[in-house]
Amino acid sequence: MSYPEAQYLGETGEISSTLRPAGGEPDLTMGTGTRVHYLGTGGSTNGAFGLYRWEMGPKPGGAGAHFHRTMTESFYVLSGTVRLYTGETWAAGRPGDFLHVPEGGIHGFRNESGEPASMLILFTPGAPREAYFEELAEISTSGRQLTPEEWTDLYLRHDQYMV
């Protein structure tokens, strides 16, 4: 393994960092009370990655078993207990636990503890996951009922293959 090809070819470096202070309002609230913070989106990282802080309330919620064809997904539990599906079993993820899922790897996550829980979710490369999250939030908030064909279309548009 070696370093990738250089992306910056300047000689002196540049001031280009972005700081997102803790404590800001979430970018999105899901129907179960989950608050999502867009820490680094594919758009803001030039497609390198997408990083999201996922703060789940005590109501049960999460993603069932699925896989992605175009991106990896990783989870790092910050607080509480998050059930993480490894493709074989549901494991109790606790603070400090990490799950990496390569392209095609079956996975899922849920908070079923009855207590708040939070984690970081990392996608590589930086796919436009915000549109998927926002569409799910709108469906939940509005109470709109999708047909099986509409769910299939939604999932296909967002590289989400349910198992």
- pLDDT, residue 32, reads 82
Q: Is residue 7 part of a domain?
A: no
Give the number of domains in the chain: 1
Angle at CA of residue 70, ends 108 and 68, nearest 5°? 20
- pLDDT, residue 158, reads 97
Q: Is residue 16 part of a domain?
A: no
Mean per-residue pLDDT of the chain: 96
**Closest listed residue to residue 54, CA positions, set 36, 69, 28:** 36
pLDDT in tens, 108-153: 999 999 999 999 999 999 999 999 999 999 999 999 999 999 999 9
Indicate which CATH number applies to the domain containing 102: 2.60.120.10
Provide mean pLDDT across the span 66-71.
98
Provide mean pLDDT across the span 69-96.
98
pLDDT in tens, 141-155: 999 999 999 999 999
99 lies in which domain range? 28-162
Q: Is residue 90 part of a domain?
A: yes
- Strands (E) across the chain are located at 28-29, 35-40, 50-56, 61-67, 72-79, 82-85, 90-93, 98-101, 107-111, 117-124, 161-162
Q: Which DSSP string do the residues of 82-106 spell out, in sequence order? A: EEEE-SS-EEEE-TT-EEEE-TT--
- CB neighbour list of residue 96: distance below 8 Å, 6 or more residues apart: 76, 77
Model pTM score: 0.94
**pLDDT at residue 98 tops 90:** yes
Q: Is residue 128 part of a domain?
A: yes
- pLDDT, residue 31, reads 84
Provide mean pLDDT across the span 22-47.
94
- pLDDT, residue 29, reads 95
Residue 159's H or E segment, with its range, is: none
- CB neighbour list of residue 161: distance below 8 Å, 6 or more residues apart: 66, 67, 68, 69, 155
- pLDDT, residue 12, reads 97
